[in-house]
Structure 1
Amino acid sequence: MIALALFLLQWIFMPIIFILFLHSYTQKCNKLPLWNFPLLGVLPHFLINFHRLHDKLTEGLERSHGSLLIKHSWFAPNDLFLTSDPANVHHILSTNFQNYPKGPEWREKFDIFGDDGIFNSDFEAWKFHRKVARALFSHQKFQPLATKTMQEITQKGLIPVLEHVSEKNKEFDLKHLLNRGTFDFACAITTGYNPNFLSMEQPQVPFLKAIDDACEAIFFRYVLQERLWKLQR
């Protein structure tokens, strides 16, 4: 009888305790940038706010005055430092970049970019790639070319497609459409050739699918334990 009574009390009080815990969690979330749970870290935040993840991170940065440290947990093995302070960004990416090398762990997670590109290089190699990129973007002909190319893609590609789906009253994926336009722009601005994937026919673009898959893989590599994402291989 005593065991039965304890069992019933447990099922009565457990929901009450859970409700009180949830209320306390909600109150703390309204005051703190991001609350770190034991073992889980900030994983509950990401799961609850997955549909508005960028908004949640923006709110956290606002409450923490522009810089936010996310402590590691069992699921996320690394501390993450997020900053929206222009002075911090300039300090890390420009004036003192040599003090923030990416290292071998970064290159393993971002191996899709290879070892020699600007995304994975450090020190002198990074300075060389940055110098080349700056020369391209600061060239006197680059801005007019980029403006002209974007206008042509918008007028001859994006607007006609939007008008077509509007007339046919069709549903469409705006993100997918903009991805096609971005791909056309990138090809035109770097190679001089516009593949015209932003068209009425909307042909299959395996390369865009590959980019989406690669970005998803990189995201999970960055937020999960190394042994977990390597097991997913």
Structure 2
Amino acid sequence: MSIIELLASFSLLAISIFFYLTKNNKSRASSKSDSNLPKSYPLIGSSVAIFGNRKRLIQWTSDLIRNSPSATVVLHRFLDDSRVVTGDPANVQHMLKTQFQNYEKGSKSRRALFDFLGNGIFNIDGDSWKFQRQLSSHEFSTKSLRKFVENVVDTELSQRLIPILSAAAANNAVLDFQDILQRFAFDNICKIAFGYDPAYLLPDLPEAEFAKTFDEAAKISSGRLISVFPYLWKIKSFLNIGSEKRLKEASSQLREFAKNIIKEKKQQISKNSSLESVDLLSRFLSSGHSDEDFVTDIVISFILAGRDTTSAALTWYFWLLSQKPRSGEGST
């Protein structure tokens, strides 16, 4: 490198540092009244605090929101990659309902989740999102699908969940209830989406391969999304090492599994056109949507939507009940 190039590099570096220092000072001055926010530094923002709380990120951000007068905080990350975290119902309604069209997922989110979700509804914007939303909404509004969902859940309750809980109560055994409810939700959503039973909630609590692979792909993908230093996962992906190698393998296995089921469903439908379409996959295929990648993306998104959300809601519900075991103690 020549002397001129070296001086030019130092000049650009000095300008960058000055810019971030100036911006950071303004930011600190404007938020001086909020002492609960983590300390923000030039260039790296609050990455130190975010990294330090990475294993309790939900609890940590919940505490920040709870201690904020506006129930909204802005976390500055590496190279001024800012994230807004809010617990204000009005903000949530504004972003997810009244002005939803103004809040796209964006290219960063799409890149981080593409290997896992592809072009599914949780990873797209605009007309593609609208099309999948209308398609899904139509199917879920049918009485036949609601009846099918009811039958699936009733079977899982009566034949699996209740017997396991009854046996544990009779033997005075301890269960990881959150794990039980995750298994319960996973079996249900796979039957509803694919018409496939992973048999994850059995008395011996097996380690179902499909469930394990799905969980690993979801975990690594979400890790990409919240990574303090996103360049790190991109480098690992380019080199095909570590967690990125495992993600590629898991995503490939999931898609191969899904496409095998799609092929089987197509054969069933072609052999018997009067075959009743009960699960979502059969309904999509019967309505003319035969592109394997398109259908796979939709179904994987629905499994993701119904897995953790249902089990988390049920876990909190029973936790709240446990805090008030007698009705006379007040409502939850």
> What's the TM-score, normalizing by structure 2?
0.52
1:197 and 1:153, CA in 2 relative to 1: closer, same or farther beyond 3 A? Answer: same
Shift of the alpha carbon at 1:167?
A: 4.2
Shift of the alpha carbon at 1:57?
A: 2.2
Aligned counterpart in structure 1 of residue 210 of structure 2, from 197, 207, 212: 207
Shift of the alpha carbon at 1:145?
A: 4.2
- Please identify runs of 4+ aligned residues in structure 1 that moved more than 6 A: none
Aligned counterpart in structure 1 of residue 76 of structure 2, from 71, 76, 82: 71
Alignment of 1:86-97 (within 5 A): 86-97=89-100
What code does the residue aligned with 2:156 have? Answer: I
Q: Give the secondary structure class of the aligned counterpart of 2:74.
A: strand
Shift of the alpha carbon at 1:216?
A: 2.3
What residue number does 1:54 align with?
A: 58
1:143 and 1:88, CA in 2 relative to 1: closer, same or farther beyond 3 A? Answer: farther
Q: Give the secondary structure class of the aligned counterpart of 2:124.
A: coil
Shift of the alpha carbon at 1:180?
A: 1.4
For the 8 Å contact 1:32–1:63, the answer to whether it is kept is no
What code does the residue aligned with 1:63 have? Answer: N
1:137 to 2:140 alignment = yes
For the 8 Å contact 2:45–2:76, the answer to whether it is kept is no
Shift of the alpha carbon at 1:89?
A: 2.8
For the 8 Å contact 2:139–2:145, the answer to whether it is kept is yes
1:197 to 2:200 alignment = yes
Q: Give the secondary structure class of the aligned counterpart of 1:68.
A: strand
What residue number does 1:146 align with?
A: 149
Shift of the alpha carbon at 1:126?
A: 0.7
- Higher-RCO chain (CA-CA 8 Å, sequence separation at least 6): 2
Alignment of 1:216-227 (within 5 A): 216-222=219-225, 223-227=227-231
For the 8 Å contact 2:113–2:222, the answer to whether it is kept is no
1:160 and 1:85, CA in 2 relative to 1: closer, same or farther beyond 3 A? Answer: same
Alignment of 1:105-116 (within 5 A): 105-111=108-114, 112-114=116-118, 116=119
In 1, the alpha carbon distance for the partners of 2:54 and 2:224 equals: 20
What residue number does 1:36 align with?
A: 39
In 1, the alpha carbon distance for the partners of 2:35 and 2:161 equals: 42
In 2, the alpha carbon distance for the partners of 1:168 and 1:178 equals: 20
Matched pairs, number: 199
For the 8 Å contact 2:78–2:229, the answer to whether it is kept is no
In 1, the alpha carbon distance for the partners of 2:230 and 2:50 equals: 21
In 1, the alpha carbon distance for the partners of 2:100 and 2:160 equals: 40
What code does the residue aligned with 2:75 have? Answer: I
For the 8 Å contact 1:33–1:68, the answer to whether it is kept is no
In 1, the alpha carbon distance for the partners of 2:53 and 2:59 equals: 12
The alignment's C-alpha RMSD in Å is 2.9
1:157 and 1:47, CA in 2 relative to 1: closer, same or farther beyond 3 A? Answer: farther
- Percent sequence identity is 29
> What's the TM-score, normalizing by structure 1?
0.70
What residue number does 1:123 align with?
A: 126
**1:109-162: CA deviations, max 9, x gaps?**
001111x31112111111111112222333344445434433332232112122
In 2, the alpha carbon distance for the partners of 1:196 and 1:105 equals: 36
Q: Name whichever structure is richer in helix by fraction.
A: 2
1:228 to 2:232 alignment = yes
For the 8 Å contact 2:50–2:228, the answer to whether it is kept is no
For the 8 Å contact 2:198–2:210, the answer to whether it is kept is no
